[in-house]
Amino acid sequence: MKTADFTIYDLIARQAALYDDREAVVAGGRRLSFADCYRNCGAFADGLRREGIAAGDRIAVLAGNEVEFLLLCGAAAGLGVVVVPINWRLGAEEIAFILTDTRPRFLFCSRDFRERACQVAVGASFLEKVFIFAGEEKAGNIPDGQGEGKEQHSELHAFTVGEGGKERGDAGAAPGGCGTDPFLIIHTAAVGGRPRGCLLSQDNIIAAALQIGHLLHLDSRDVHMGILPLFHIGGLTMTLAALLAGGRNVLVPRFDPSVVLRLIADEGGTFLVTFPPMLGALLDAGEQGGCKPSSLRFACGVDAPATIERFLGMYPRAAFFSLYGQTEAMPVAGGDYRERPGSIGRPALLSRVMLSDDLDREVPRGTPGEICVRSPAVFRGYWNLTAETAAASRNGWHHTGDLGRLDDEGYLWYVGRKPEKELIKSGGENVYPAEVEQAILDHAAIAETCVIGIPDPEWGEAVQAFCVLKEGCTVSAGELSEFVASRIARYKRPRQVVFLADLPKTPAGTVDREAVKRAYRS
């Protein structure tokens, strides 16, 4: 480790020295100070070392918004270990793919996901052990016969969380990680039918947190309501941004509008980040229950203008910050919605934005082009995908695949997605048509299909599938939707299925997606 280096472990140690017994994380019945977080990260690091984990090794996490998730990340940062957060909404086959793609030595899970963790561990010969977070109760033993005889643990040795108690002593093992070390592999939606692992360094995550804190004007009085899952880049970087500012994080295990409103009131929550339809659901619950917490300073994320205006009407002293980014670069731009309604703000503090044409030439102001960015938050590349990494980072710019335009005052306006990077944004989750189409074509009754996104007032966009049946075969729309949900995450299933006699084709004989959208999107 170099003297000029600064890791996430260093960040946690710094905050412990500055804020000591001040509350840092609240989750369920547990409340940890900054000093508690530092000591427990050290204990986790010691435990990992005793298990033989070393710099460069990978560990996977299948868990909700729990304290242990954060502490494990802090310990991994200190050791130079790579964390693979897994979206718990994914199906068993999708989780198995992520594990096979990254080949972690250990899998950590919360009690809620122990059964699924054991299920996927059966076919993963490279997994040495499965650990279960003890949580607020002592975890029981894993049922016999699961994991094919892998040595599995129900307790995490030194990994259990302790509160208060300065008698716990030093933080534990001396850190050995570096800021430039690979730190996270977060899998994005599948452009070509399989998800791609975005490799992010500690420097990337710290740069993201720093820019978010600057954009949202965070300080030590802020209380972040952590309703986005920690496996999501937005949930993790927003939590770190609050920690960096000296604020408090209230982790919410599952999104329930009434529960979130009560927690905001009880904990003095000042901000949260949402994706459709979360903000609308919170507003509905507030109106029905007559609960409008006065501590709320702002909400941020992406949402329909009507929902944002409704939020500002219900909370006239609050603001809404538009926030644009992706797993590969978070954030790219953002700002107060009221400054330029409809835009996605100006480039973030350490981000330079350029719009390019199909030949990678910069386009004039006001002309739509692909949004390209340079920033210390831009990811290191796609895991084991050299060609895809080179294509995304050509000519020294990260190419987002999104189209936008810059106005004369530097505000960025989102225009859409490049045709070859067709994307459906449903409830904050990315869904690529190719992955859904592949799942549909696995059904024995389907000859051809084309999947597109259609406007949806609740989710932003919804998945719609157009299908051609094989001769003599039948299947209902509901049956096909459930078939897809059994193979990939339920949020990716078609909400509407339309059966056609044939689909329009390009001169090359492939399905013409643009023609489908023009003919049927309405």
- 238 and 307 in a single domain? The answer is yes
Residues 386 and 447 in one domain: no
Cβ 189 vs Cβ 432: under 8 Å: yes
Q: What is the pLDDT of residue 190?
A: 61
Do residue 309 and residue 336 come from a single domain? yes
From edge to edge, which strands make up the β-sheet containing 398-406?
A: 352-356, 369-374, 398-406, 412-417
In a domain, 192, yes or no: no
Query: In the listed set 400, 420, 440, which residue is the last one of a domain according to the structure?
Result: 420
Question: Residues of the chain with pLDDT > 90: what percent?
Answer: 72
Rounded Cα–Cα distance for residues 179 and 262 (Å) = 38
SS3 125: coil
Residue 519 pLDDT grade (very low, low, confident, very high; cuts 50, 70, 90): confident
Domain end: 172, 187, 202, which one? 187
Exposure string of 444-453, with b = 16+ CB inside 10 Å and e = fewer, is: ebbebbbbbb
Q: Considering the domain boundaries, does residue 105 fall inside one?
A: yes
Number of other CB atoms surrounding residue 522 within 10 Å:
7
Long-range contact set of residues 155-160: C-beta below 8 Å, sequence gap at least 24: 156/44, 156/47, 156/68, 156/131, 156/132, 157/47, 157/50, 157/51, 158/43, 158/44, 158/46, 158/47, 158/50, 159/43, 159/44, 159/47, 159/68, 159/72, 159/131, 159/133, 159/134, 160/134
Cis peptide before 277 (omega within 30 of 0): yes
Poorest-pLDDT segment among 178-182, 269-273, 370-374: 178-182
With a cut of 60, say whether residue 439 has pLDDT above it: yes
pLDDT band at 155 (very low <50, low <70, confident <90, very high): very low
Q: What is the arithmetic mean of pLDDT over 201-211?
A: 98
pLDDT digits (tens, 9 = 90+) for 93-134: 899 999 999 999 999 999 999 999 988 998 899 999 999 987
Using alpha carbons, select from 83, 86, 79, 81 the residue that is nearest to residue 63: 86
Whether the predicted pLDDT of 151 surpasses 50: no
Q: Per the structure block, which two tokens stand in for 125?
A: 């010969």
Instruction: Say whether pLDDT at 235 is over 90.
Output: yes
Whether residue 2 lies inside any domain: the answer is no
Lowest pLDDT segment from 180-189, 353-362, 418-427: 418-427
Please report which residue ranges of 277-428 form alpha helices under DSSP H: 278-289, 305-314, 386-392
Residue 144 has pLDDT above 60, yes or no: no
pLDDT at 1: 62
Domain limit, last residue, from 356, 391, 420 = 420
Higher pLDDT, 487 or 135: 487
Structural domain count of the chain? 3
Domain with 454 in it: 423-520
Per-residue pLDDT, averaged over 483-491, amounts to 90
Domain annotation covers residue 486? yes
- Domain co-membership, 491 together with 379: no
One domain for residues 280 and 415: yes
Contacts of 365 (CB under 8 A, 6+ apart): 405, 406, 407, 408
Which position has the higher pLDDT, 427 or 383?
383
Question: CATH no. for residue 452?
Answer: 3.30.300.30
pLDDT of residue 159 exceeding 50, the answer is no
Q: Does the pLDDT value for residue 404 go beyond 50?
A: yes
Residues 416 and 510 in one domain: no
Q: With contact defined as beta carbons under 8 Å apart, do 12 and 37 qualify?
A: yes
- Comparing CA positions, the residue from 498, 413, 415 lying closest to residue 462 is 498
Whether residue 514 is contained in a domain is answered as yes
Report the relative pairing of strands 412-417 and 398-406 from DSSP bridges: antiparallel
Q: Give yes or no: residues 161 and 96 share one domain.
A: yes
| Residue 156's pLDDT band (cuts 50, 70, 90) | very low
Residue 19 and residue 168 in one domain = yes
CB 341 within 8 A of CB 333: no
Predicted model pTM: 0.84
The C-alpha angle 303, 194, 393, rounded to 5 degrees, equals: 70
pLDDT band at 461 (very low <50, low <70, confident <90, very high): confident
* Residue 199 within any structural domain of the chain: no
What tokens were used for 402? 């999104």
Residue 502 located in a structural domain: yes
- The residue that leads in pLDDT, 307 or 148, is 307
Question: Would you say residue 158 has pLDDT above 70?
Answer: no
Residues 36-68 have pLDDT tens digits of 999 999 999 999 999 999 999 999 999 999 999
Does some domain include residue 470? yes
The letter for the amino acid at 157 is H
pLDDT tens string 286-341:
999 888 899 999 999 988 899 999 999 999 999 999 999 999 999 999 999 999 99
**pLDDT for res 232:** 95
Angle between helices 257-267 and 278-289 (to 10 degrees): 70
In a shared domain, residues 257 and 342: yes
Specify the range with the lowest mean pLDDT, choosing from 111-125, 169-183, 235-249, 496-510: 169-183
What tokens appear for 56 in the block? 């460069």
Q: Is pLDDT at 14 greater than 90 in this prediction? A: yes
pLDDT tens for residues 244-260? Answer: 999 999 999 989 999 99
Contact between 245 and 277 under an 8 Å Cβ cutoff? The reply is no
Same-domain check for residues 363 and 396 = yes
Stronger pLDDT, 168 or 233, i.e. the higher one = 233
Structure token digits, residue 252: 């919410």
- 387 vs 514, higher pLDDT: 387
* d(C-alpha 347, C-alpha 329), whole Å: 12
Could you tell me if 164 and 219 lie in one domain? no
Q: Looking at the structure, do residues 109 and 168 belong to the same domain, yes or no?
A: yes
Identity of residue 34: F
List the CATH number of the domain containing 35: 3.40.50.12780
Region 416-427: mean pLDDT is 75
- Mean predicted lDDT score pLDDT of the chain: 89
Nearest residue to 412 via CA among 328, 319, 327, 331: 331
pLDDT of residue 136: 54
Q: Look up residue 145 and give its two tokens.
A: 């016969």
Angle at CA of residue 333, ends 7 and 355, nearest 5°: 115
